[in-house]
Structure 1
Amino acid sequence: MAKTGITFRGGLLACLSLLAACASDTPEARLRQQFDTMQAAVEAGSPSDFIEGVSTDFVGEDGLDRAALHNLLRARALTNTRIGATTGPLDVSVDGDNAEVAFDLLLTAGQGGVLPDQAGTYRVVTAWRLEADDWRVHHARWERGR
């Protein structure tokens, strides 16, 4: 009897694992994973890993392009030992190969210190698209919180 219980539990665990894998492979789940990976790269001071998730034709506020964004992140990585990027809940909307992710952001510098010239919160809205089966951000706009 014990052997049957173990087999049943093993089969049940295998089925649950497959269901979890299928659920995490949805376009929204993959987008959220890409977002998390990019956020972790910023916090780890790894601008090269972050920029992999940015489209080559990226456009941000005031005409910021991909190269300028990469340079900005590299400069921040050199001047701050760590950058914390704390986000509020993500508001994700997926429509086929396009998506929008909106969130509130608080930037901090290691040990909870606030970056002097960027103190405060931001409301960020990003536009994403699937490029070669990977989500990449191609547009971003942000507004300083009030």
Structure 2
Amino acid sequence: MFDGCALFLGAQGSIPFRMEKAKTLMAGDVVVTWQHRWHRRTAWLCLALGMVACGSAPPEERLRQQFSAMQSAVEQKRVGDFMAGVSDEFTGSGGMDRGALHNLLRVSTLGQASVGVTTGPLDVHVQGEDATVKFPVLLTGGSGRLLPQQAQTYQVTTGWRMEDGEWRVHYAHWDAPH
């Protein structure tokens, strides 16, 4: 009726077993059973596999993750987090540099109670350590009530480079449709 596993688990949960365990722990002895070693080894294995899995993500997937993180940063008005994904050598529409982009984002987010960024499908092309991402975007802003007070659509083309193992935007061009 009972298999060995059920008996084993039942014995560990029994009152005499727990009392003996408590006595051992109070005496200061360290008891390492094969179960503890197995759990520890399994945890290390899972951690190692997780690190390998993170490091081996395809470049396009890592770029999409960076894009998503930067989009979330703007929506949450965390301009510094967004700017961490922008290259020091950034150039944008109308000759904008990194400092001007930072100031534009600060003014835009501070002037609105809520900011929305809705992108259309991303057209991603990765070539080695360079990439291009094209997408439509709807930017909204307002008081945070049901409907935004401001909305504008743009067609955006961005250029990305791998810098210090991270994807960073090094140029952006945007046009408002006529």
TM-score by length of 1: 0.80
Q: CA deviation at 1:24?
A: 7.3
Residue 113 of structure 1 pairs with residue 145 of structure 2? no
Q: Within the alignment, does 1:127 sit opposite 2:162 as a pair?
A: no
Partner of 2:92: 60
Question: C-alpha root-mean-square deviation of aligned residues, in Å?
Answer: 2.4
The 1:97/1:112 distance shift into structure 2, 3 A limit, reads farther
Aligned length: 130
Deviation (angstroms), 1:112: 3.8
Alignment counterpart, residue 50 of structure 1, candidates 68, 79, 82: 82
Structure 2 partner of 1:89: 121
CA distance in 2, matches of 1:137, 1:129: 7
Q: Is 1:120–1:145's contact at 8 Å kept on the other side of the alignment?
A: no
- The match for 1:30 is 62
Following the alignment from structure 1 to structure 2, what is the Cα–Cα distance between the partners of residues 23 and 52?
Answer: 20
What is the CA–CA distance in structure 2 between the aligned matches of 1:56 and 1:76, rounded to whole Å? 21
What is the rounded CA distance, in whole Å, between the counterparts of 1:82 and 1:62 in structure 2?
26
Q: 1:24 to 1:113 in 2, by over 3 A?
A: farther
The aligned residue for residue 71 of structure 2 is 39
Q: Secondary structure of 2:148's match?
A: coil
Moved over 2 A (4+): 21-24
The residue matched to 2:121 in structure 1 has which SS? coil
- Alignment counterpart, residue 130 of structure 2, candidates 87, 98, 103: 98
Q: Could you tell me which of 89, 111, 121 is aligned with 1:79?
A: 111
Instruction: Look up the SS of the partner of 1:45 in the other structure.
Output: coil
Question: In terms of mean alpha carbon deviation, does 78-87 or 49-58 score higher?
Answer: 78-87
Extract unaligned runs of 5+ from structure 2: 6-45
Q: Which has the higher contact order (CA 8 A, sep 6+)?
A: 1
SS of 1:37's partner is helix
Name the larger-Rg structure. Answer: 2
Deviations 1:40-81 (CA, angstroms, capped at 9, x unpaired)? 000000100000000001000001110010011111121101
Q: Which consecutive residues of structure 1, in runs of 5 or more, have no partner in the other structure?
A: 4-13
> Alpha-carbon deviation of 1:132?
0.5
